[in-house]
Amino acid sequence: MKQFAVVGLGRFGISLAKELYRLGHDVFAIDLNEERVKNIAPYVTSAIQADGTDLTALKALGISNVDALFVALARDISTSLLTALNAVELGIPKIYAKAYSEGHAKILHRLGVSKVYMPEIEMGQRIARELSHSNLLELIELDPENEIVEMMAPAPWHYKTIAQLNVRQKYGVTILLIRDAEKLIVSPSPQQQISPNSKLLLLGNEKQIQKLQDK
């Protein structure tokens, strides 16, 4: 179990705080808005009405003892930056933040934020990729560069073995499993043939998989 502080209780912050608490962690939810604090109180360890830009107030709350702090104040950029700066000043080991724009994200990184999220932009990009590639069934981002996708086997792969396709060397991806109508093949051998109805779980970086989806 870890201790998290979530500063900013908009829709994103509320969802994040509730889910972390549901997963068994201690969660301190912080916002200036009294009503938001009151509404989330039953769903977190502690709901606190406080100003994230006030370093003295954060020190008094003992926030410096948490394992990680998430700044969920993206729309108010100045408040977001000051809160992140306070978290750095307090020596919190991991600091995460939601950003409104690439410029906002760049400043947060320079302040010392461990990782910056842009949910609206990232979700928009993901949806666009799913819509533009009918063979893409699911996408899981592991980090900014690597991802796992489930997709229908590309037509040029039909009736060929993994060895014949030379998948890893030619495409730079690893086939983790193959799902057919009748069976599930985990860590398929090089001699495994790809059928037209095969669903493939692939591991690779974003550019490699994007190139493959364009086939």
Strand order in the sheet with 115-117: 46-49, 26-31, 3-7, 68-71, 94-98, 115-117
Q: Which residue has the higher pLDDT, 200 or 83?
A: 83
Share of the chain above pLDDT 90, in %: 53
The pTM assigned to this predicted structure is 0.63
Q: Name every residue whose Cβ is closer than 8 Å to that of residue 39 and which is 6 or more positions away in sequence.
A: 14
Position 168 confidence tier, pLDDT thresholds 50, 70, 90 = confident
Domains and CATH numbers, the chain: 3-117 (3.40.50.720), 122-213 (3.30.70.1450)
What is the structure's pLDDT at 155? Answer: 87
Using the predicted structure, report yes or no on whether residue 141 has a pLDDT greater than 70. no
Give exposure, 129-164, as e/b (b: 16+ Cβ within 10 Å): beeebebbeebeeeeeeebbbbbbbbeebeeebbee
pLDDT in tens, 21-69: 999 999 999 999 999 999 999 999 999 999 999 999 999 998 889 999 9
Mean pLDDT within 80-84: 95
What is the structure's pLDDT at 133? Answer: 54
Mean pLDDT within 86-113: 93
Q: What is the mean pLDDT of the chain?
A: 86
Say how far apart CA 175 and CA 152 lie, in whole Å: 12
Using the predicted structure, report yes or no on whether residue 179 has a pLDDT greater than 80. yes
Q: Which two tokens stand for residue 170?
A: 């030619």
**Are the CB atoms for 55 and 28 separated by under 8 Å?**
no
Strand order in the sheet with 199-205: 136-141, 146-152, 199-205, 174-179, 184-186
Mean pLDDT within 187-214: 83
